Amino acid sequence: MAAGLRSTARSREAHQAARRLMPGGVNSPVRAFHAVGGEPLTLESGFEARVRDVDGNDYIDYVGSWGPLILGHAHPEVVEAVTRALRLGSSFGAPTLAETALARRLVEALPSLERVRLVNSGTEAAMSALRLARAATGRDLVVKCAGGYHGHADGLLVRAGSGATTLGTPDSPGVPAAYASCTLVARYNDLDDLDGLFRAYPGRIAAFILEPVAGNMGVVPPVRGYLEGVRELTRGAGALLVFDEVMTGFRVAWGGAQVLYGVAPDLTCLGKVIGGGLPVGAYGGRADLMARVAPEGPVYQAGTLSGNPLAVAAGLATLEVLSRPGAYERLGLLSERLSEGLRGVFLEAGVPSYHTRVGSMLCTFFTPGPVADYDGATASDAALYAAWFRAMLEEGVYLAPSQYEAAFVSLAHRESDIDATVEAAARALARCVSSS
């Protein structure tokens, strides 16, 4: 990969055309590159660990569709499974054998999951899990972590409060303050803060929802004892513990973070990897809780495309490959090679950085750290990250266009890809430092 500016004229033209038709020219905000400057690439294809833009430029990809593509792009077994399913029909709005097979896979892999309901997205999964938690407990309030993202449902779009007992305030216009006030905000990795909320609102909190490994403020692992303490506090308060494993489920380990750390939640939200790159989500947990979901119980939730046969086929094929011996070991080795390589590059360049990794999720924070919560993550030099991001694009490496997102390694990455990425990072960082 030779350094130098690449022609992206067609991407620019495509983006300008898209802006006339879609807000910001995108269908999800972070894709617009606002956090890193410049105009987004318009991609036309992906194969194994690489993507290609409409100008014909190739990039080693660490976005991986924001996590689902743990096997890489266009994995032959996933393509074959989806093609086979499509020939039989794209959607039925009726039960199929394949959706039962996927449900069985999930229940077998996650010990806390006794029954499950398939939906279309992580947003739907989190929204539905919290509705169920409120119904089961007869309480209205929920707790989330500052910097935690659980989809764009109204009640979860709140910013952090100024203290342990501060009620949530809307983070987006269009969210009623009364609705947002039902969400409390705690600091991630801070048991005392969570305990303070339970003490301030006794008998009123239905659930605590969190990413067991925070992946929407970079990658922030739980400190020792945090998840176990959360489990104890929620149980003692009569509240449900909801793990949002949309990102970590089958990404950090077979079965997800709850298996990796040995902590069982009451309800779990899943997505991304279980759809193999197609739109899917799921929520599930204890059988007594899931029995409250319609049509067995009164908690209503429905979806025309839930359990879509194409998404289910892609998910089943992906999980089949991941279940084979050595899959997670290889992912771990590749990810460690990248994380340690980047750490060495920043150390040699004398650029303050803090590197985190859990499984095949990793992040380089442009701060000396440590990073244990949202405040620590936002102490990063986002402007320097943006400059490095653009320099890495010139080097042919596609990272997340935000300091506060994870990088994802796939089974399609090779050692040569990792080594080329580390070498590119050194060149890119050197240019950033020399121009600052």
CB atoms within 10 A of CB 342: 23
Is 149 labeled as catalytic in the residue annotation? yes
| Dist. CA 78–CA 277, nearest whole Å | 9
In three-state secondary structure terms, 73 is strand
| Active-site hit among 53, 190, 244, 266 | 244
Distance CA 87, CA 262 (A): 41
CA distances, 306 to each of 33, 93, 205, 239 (Å): 31, 8, 29, 28
* Rounded Cα–Cα distance for residues 290 and 114 (Å): 8
Catalytic residue among 61, 188, 272, 417, which? 272
CA distance 57 to 147: 34
Q: Measure the CA–CA gap between 230 and 236, rounded to whole angstroms.
A: 10
C-alpha span between 325 and 292 (Å, rounded)? 37
Q: Is 417 a catalytic residue?
A: no
Is residue 195 among the annotated active site residues?
no
> How far is the C-alpha of 336 from the C-alpha of 332, rounded, in Å?
6
Encoding tokens for residue 100? Answer: 């039962």
If one counts every other C-beta atom within 10 angstroms of the C-beta of residue 161, the result is 18
Q: Spot the catalytic one: 62, 149, 226, 328.
A: 149
Q: Do strands 58-61 and 397-398 pair parallel, antiparallel, or not at all (unpaired)?
A: parallel
Closest among 245, 237, 315 to 279, alpha carbons compared: 315
Q: Which active-site residues does the annotation give?
A: 149, 244, 272
